[in-house]
Amino acid sequence: MRRAPRIRRARPPRDRPQVVAHRGSSHDTPEHTLAAYVKALDEGAEALECDVRLTADGHLVCVHDRDLRRTASTPGLVSTMNLAELDELDFASWKNPWAELDDESPTTDPERGRVLTLRRLLETVADYDRHVEMAIETKHPTRYGGLVERRLVDTLGDFGWDRAGSPARVMSFSLNAMNRVKKLAPDLDVVMLVDKAHHWPVLRPVVGDDWIIGPGVEELRDHPGLGRHLVKAGREIHVWTVNTAEDLQVCLDLGVTAVISDRPAYMLDLLGA
Protein backbone atom coordinates (compact mmCIF):
# COMPACT_ATOMS: atom_id res chain seq x y z
CA MET A 1 0.00 0.00 0.00
CA ARG A 2 1.44 3.34 -1.05
CA ARG A 3 1.35 6.24 1.36
CA ALA A 4 0.33 9.67 0.14
CA PRO A 5 3.59 11.31 -1.03
CA ARG A 6 5.18 13.78 1.34
CA ILE A 7 7.51 15.83 -0.75
CA ARG A 8 10.56 17.49 0.70
CA ARG A 9 10.40 21.20 1.21
CA ALA A 10 13.04 23.17 -0.62
CA ARG A 11 16.19 23.28 1.47
CA PRO A 12 16.70 26.73 2.94
CA PRO A 13 20.09 28.35 2.41
CA ARG A 14 22.49 27.12 5.09
CA ASP A 15 25.36 28.91 6.75
CA ARG A 16 26.35 25.66 8.45
CA PRO A 17 26.27 21.95 7.63
CA GLN A 18 23.22 19.77 8.14
CA VAL A 19 23.61 17.50 11.19
CA VAL A 20 22.92 13.85 10.38
CA ALA A 21 22.54 11.27 13.16
CA HIS A 22 24.85 8.34 12.35
CA ARG A 23 22.88 5.14 13.05
CA GLY A 24 20.77 7.33 15.32
CA SER A 25 22.16 8.99 18.41
CA SER A 26 24.54 6.06 18.60
CA HIS A 27 27.18 7.42 20.96
CA ASP A 28 24.92 6.85 23.95
CA THR A 29 22.19 4.58 22.55
CA PRO A 30 22.43 1.21 20.75
CA GLU A 31 22.93 1.90 17.06
CA HIS A 32 20.18 1.30 14.52
CA THR A 33 17.51 0.80 17.17
CA LEU A 34 14.29 2.75 17.22
CA ALA A 35 15.42 4.13 20.58
CA ALA A 36 18.55 5.59 18.98
CA TYR A 37 16.57 7.31 16.22
CA VAL A 38 13.89 8.67 18.53
CA LYS A 39 16.64 10.10 20.74
CA ALA A 40 18.28 11.69 17.70
CA LEU A 41 14.98 13.28 16.68
CA ASP A 42 14.42 14.54 20.21
CA GLU A 43 17.90 16.07 20.13
CA GLY A 44 17.09 17.99 16.95
CA ALA A 45 18.92 15.92 14.31
CA GLU A 46 18.07 17.24 10.87
CA ALA A 47 18.60 13.93 9.11
CA LEU A 48 19.00 10.28 10.07
CA GLU A 49 21.59 7.90 8.62
CA CYS A 50 21.10 4.15 8.45
CA ASP A 51 22.67 1.10 6.84
CA VAL A 52 20.39 -1.45 5.23
CA ARG A 53 20.70 -5.17 4.56
CA LEU A 54 18.26 -7.61 3.01
CA THR A 55 16.93 -10.55 5.01
CA ALA A 56 16.38 -14.00 3.54
CA ASP A 57 12.65 -13.27 3.18
CA GLY A 58 13.17 -9.94 1.47
CA HIS A 59 12.91 -7.30 4.21
CA LEU A 60 15.30 -4.36 4.47
CA VAL A 61 16.60 -4.04 8.03
CA CYS A 62 18.82 -1.43 9.62
CA VAL A 63 21.97 -3.38 10.50
CA HIS A 64 25.58 -2.42 9.75
CA ASP A 65 27.52 -5.70 10.04
CA ARG A 66 26.86 -8.72 7.84
CA ASP A 67 26.91 -10.95 10.92
CA LEU A 68 25.28 -10.39 14.28
CA ARG A 69 28.11 -11.08 16.72
CA ARG A 70 28.71 -7.48 17.73
CA THR A 71 25.18 -6.16 18.11
CA ALA A 72 23.07 -9.26 18.87
CA SER A 73 25.61 -11.74 20.33
CA THR A 74 24.95 -14.43 17.74
CA PRO A 75 27.07 -15.77 14.85
CA GLY A 76 24.10 -15.62 12.45
CA LEU A 77 24.20 -13.76 9.13
CA VAL A 78 21.53 -11.19 8.35
CA SER A 79 21.21 -12.45 4.78
CA THR A 80 20.42 -16.03 5.85
CA MET A 81 17.80 -15.18 8.48
CA ASN A 82 14.13 -14.28 8.18
CA LEU A 83 12.75 -11.13 9.75
CA ALA A 84 10.84 -13.18 12.32
CA GLU A 85 14.11 -14.79 13.46
CA LEU A 86 15.85 -11.44 13.73
CA ASP A 87 12.90 -10.04 15.64
CA GLU A 88 13.56 -12.52 18.44
CA LEU A 89 17.03 -11.08 19.08
CA ASP A 90 18.11 -8.30 21.44
CA PHE A 91 19.94 -5.55 19.55
CA ALA A 92 20.34 -3.25 22.54
CA SER A 93 21.95 -5.03 25.50
CA TRP A 94 25.46 -5.04 24.01
CA LYS A 95 25.70 -1.29 24.53
CA ASN A 96 25.28 -1.59 28.31
CA PRO A 97 25.65 -5.26 29.32
CA TRP A 98 25.52 -4.40 33.03
CA ALA A 99 22.24 -2.48 32.88
CA GLU A 100 20.30 -5.15 34.80
CA LEU A 101 22.70 -4.77 37.73
CA ASP A 102 22.51 -0.98 37.73
CA ASP A 103 19.70 0.29 39.94
CA GLU A 104 20.01 3.74 38.35
CA SER A 105 19.83 2.49 34.78
CA PRO A 106 16.76 3.95 33.04
CA THR A 107 13.89 1.61 32.19
CA THR A 108 13.81 0.89 28.48
CA ASP A 109 11.10 -0.35 26.15
CA PRO A 110 12.19 -3.75 24.75
CA GLU A 111 10.36 -2.97 21.49
CA ARG A 112 12.79 -0.11 20.87
CA GLY A 113 15.75 -2.48 21.13
CA ARG A 114 14.65 -5.01 18.54
CA VAL A 115 15.69 -5.20 14.91
CA LEU A 116 14.46 -2.14 13.05
CA THR A 117 13.06 -2.43 9.55
CA LEU A 118 13.68 0.37 7.12
CA ARG A 119 9.95 0.69 6.59
CA ARG A 120 9.37 1.32 10.31
CA LEU A 121 12.09 3.97 10.32
CA LEU A 122 10.66 5.69 7.24
CA GLU A 123 7.21 5.69 8.83
CA THR A 124 8.68 7.32 11.92
CA VAL A 125 10.28 10.05 9.80
CA ALA A 126 7.21 10.56 7.61
CA ASP A 127 4.98 10.99 10.66
CA TYR A 128 7.34 13.24 12.61
CA ASP A 129 6.16 16.77 13.34
CA ARG A 130 9.01 18.49 11.52
CA HIS A 131 10.98 18.00 8.32
CA VAL A 132 13.64 15.29 8.64
CA GLU A 133 15.75 13.82 5.86
CA MET A 134 17.15 10.31 5.42
CA ALA A 135 20.60 9.14 4.33
CA ILE A 136 20.38 5.42 3.54
CA GLU A 137 23.51 3.37 2.90
CA THR A 138 23.31 0.06 1.05
CA LYS A 139 25.96 -2.41 2.19
CA HIS A 140 28.05 -4.39 -0.28
CA PRO A 141 29.19 -6.97 -1.12
CA THR A 142 26.07 -9.01 -0.45
CA ARG A 143 24.66 -12.27 -1.78
CA TYR A 144 21.63 -10.38 -3.09
CA GLY A 145 23.54 -7.91 -5.26
CA GLY A 146 21.36 -5.37 -7.02
CA LEU A 147 18.17 -6.67 -5.39
CA VAL A 148 19.06 -4.48 -2.39
CA GLU A 149 18.80 -1.27 -4.42
CA ARG A 150 15.67 -2.47 -6.19
CA ARG A 151 13.93 -3.20 -2.89
CA LEU A 152 15.11 0.11 -1.49
CA VAL A 153 13.77 2.14 -4.40
CA ASP A 154 10.49 0.19 -4.27
CA THR A 155 10.17 0.94 -0.55
CA LEU A 156 10.90 4.62 -1.07
CA GLY A 157 8.29 4.57 -3.81
CA ASP A 158 5.66 3.48 -1.30
CA PHE A 159 6.22 6.82 0.42
CA GLY A 160 6.44 8.83 -2.78
CA TRP A 161 10.13 9.33 -2.05
CA ASP A 162 11.61 7.84 -5.21
CA ARG A 163 11.44 11.05 -7.22
CA ALA A 164 12.67 14.63 -7.30
CA GLY A 165 12.09 16.41 -4.02
CA SER A 166 12.52 13.26 -1.95
CA PRO A 167 13.76 13.72 1.63
CA ALA A 168 15.83 10.56 1.12
CA ARG A 169 19.23 10.13 -0.42
CA VAL A 170 21.07 6.85 -1.03
CA MET A 171 24.72 6.23 -0.22
CA SER A 172 27.21 3.44 -0.85
CA PHE A 173 30.88 2.66 -1.22
CA SER A 174 29.85 0.63 -4.30
CA LEU A 175 29.92 2.48 -7.60
CA ASN A 176 27.72 -0.23 -9.13
CA ALA A 177 25.14 0.30 -6.39
CA MET A 178 24.99 4.03 -7.06
CA ASN A 179 24.64 3.45 -10.79
CA ARG A 180 21.76 1.06 -10.12
CA VAL A 181 19.97 3.65 -7.98
CA LYS A 182 20.33 6.31 -10.68
CA LYS A 183 18.97 3.88 -13.27
CA LEU A 184 15.99 2.92 -11.09
CA ALA A 185 15.26 6.42 -9.76
CA PRO A 186 17.17 9.02 -11.81
CA ASP A 187 16.04 11.98 -9.72
CA LEU A 188 17.13 10.61 -6.33
CA ASP A 189 20.21 12.17 -4.76
CA VAL A 190 23.10 9.75 -4.34
CA VAL A 191 26.23 9.99 -2.21
CA MET A 192 29.37 8.23 -3.43
CA LEU A 193 31.19 7.29 -0.25
CA VAL A 194 34.98 7.45 -0.38
CA ASP A 195 36.93 5.22 1.97
CA LYS A 196 40.47 6.24 0.99
CA ALA A 197 41.80 9.48 -0.44
CA HIS A 198 43.66 7.67 -3.22
CA HIS A 199 40.37 6.21 -4.48
CA TRP A 200 39.11 9.62 -5.57
CA PRO A 201 41.28 10.01 -8.70
CA VAL A 202 39.89 6.66 -9.90
CA LEU A 203 36.30 7.56 -9.08
CA ARG A 204 36.38 11.13 -10.37
CA PRO A 205 35.98 10.29 -14.10
CA VAL A 206 33.14 7.80 -13.55
CA VAL A 207 30.80 9.41 -11.00
CA GLY A 208 27.96 11.66 -12.08
CA ASP A 209 28.52 15.40 -12.16
CA ASP A 210 25.63 15.92 -9.74
CA TRP A 211 26.57 13.16 -7.29
CA ILE A 212 27.37 14.11 -3.72
CA ILE A 213 30.74 12.90 -2.45
CA GLY A 214 31.08 11.37 1.03
CA PRO A 215 34.64 11.17 2.36
CA GLY A 216 35.59 10.08 5.86
CA VAL A 217 36.77 12.84 8.14
CA GLU A 218 40.02 11.00 8.90
CA GLU A 219 40.93 11.02 5.22
CA LEU A 220 40.16 14.73 4.99
CA ARG A 221 42.31 15.40 8.03
CA ASP A 222 45.21 13.17 6.99
CA HIS A 223 45.10 14.07 3.29
CA PRO A 224 44.15 17.76 3.01
CA GLY A 225 44.50 17.64 -0.75
CA LEU A 226 41.37 15.50 -1.02
CA GLY A 227 39.18 18.24 0.40
CA ARG A 228 40.83 20.89 -1.73
CA HIS A 229 40.24 18.84 -4.89
CA LEU A 230 36.57 18.27 -4.02
CA VAL A 231 36.00 21.95 -3.30
CA LYS A 232 37.80 23.02 -6.47
CA ALA A 233 35.58 20.64 -8.45
CA GLY A 234 32.49 22.25 -6.93
CA ARG A 235 31.36 19.02 -5.30
CA GLU A 236 28.75 18.89 -2.55
CA ILE A 237 30.44 17.11 0.37
CA HIS A 238 28.88 15.01 3.15
CA VAL A 239 31.40 13.84 5.76
CA TRP A 240 31.41 10.86 8.14
CA THR A 241 31.89 10.26 11.10
CA VAL A 242 32.31 13.66 12.75
CA ASN A 243 32.34 13.42 16.56
CA THR A 244 34.78 16.05 17.85
CA ALA A 245 35.11 19.81 17.71
CA GLU A 246 38.40 19.41 15.81
CA ASP A 247 36.81 17.23 13.15
CA LEU A 248 33.88 19.60 12.83
CA GLN A 249 36.32 22.46 12.21
CA VAL A 250 37.88 20.50 9.34
CA CYS A 251 34.41 20.31 7.80
CA LEU A 252 33.61 23.96 8.41
CA ASP A 253 36.87 25.03 6.80
CA LEU A 254 35.85 23.12 3.66
CA GLY A 255 32.27 24.37 3.65
CA VAL A 256 30.75 20.88 3.62
CA THR A 257 26.96 20.63 3.49
CA ALA A 258 26.39 17.73 5.91
CA VAL A 259 28.20 16.14 8.85
CA ILE A 260 27.26 12.62 9.91
CA SER A 261 27.79 12.14 13.63
CA ASP A 262 27.24 9.65 16.45
CA ARG A 263 26.68 12.73 18.64
CA PRO A 264 24.10 14.92 16.88
CA ALA A 265 23.22 16.92 20.00
CA TYR A 266 26.89 17.80 20.57
CA MET A 267 27.35 18.83 16.93
CA LEU A 268 24.26 21.04 17.06
CA ASP A 269 25.54 22.63 20.27
CA LEU A 270 28.94 23.33 18.70
CA LEU A 271 27.21 24.90 15.72
CA GLY A 272 25.04 27.05 17.96
CA ALA A 273 21.89 25.51 16.51
Which residues are tagged catalytic?
Answer: 22, 64
Distance CA 272, CA 97 (A): 34
* Cβ-Cβ contacts under 8 Å for 76 (sequence gap 6 or more): 67, 68, 85
Instruction: Confirm if 56 and 82 have CB atoms less than 8 A apart.
Output: yes
Q: Which residues are paired to 21 by β-bridges?
A: 48, 261
Residue 17 has what DSSP assignment?
A: P
189-194 vs 212-215, strand pairing mode: parallel
Distance CA 150, CA 181 (A): 8
Query: Per the omega criterion (within 30 degrees of 0), is the bond before 106 cis?
Result: no
Distance CA 240, CA 181 (A): 21
Q: How many CA atoms lie within 13 A of 164 on its CB side?
A: 2
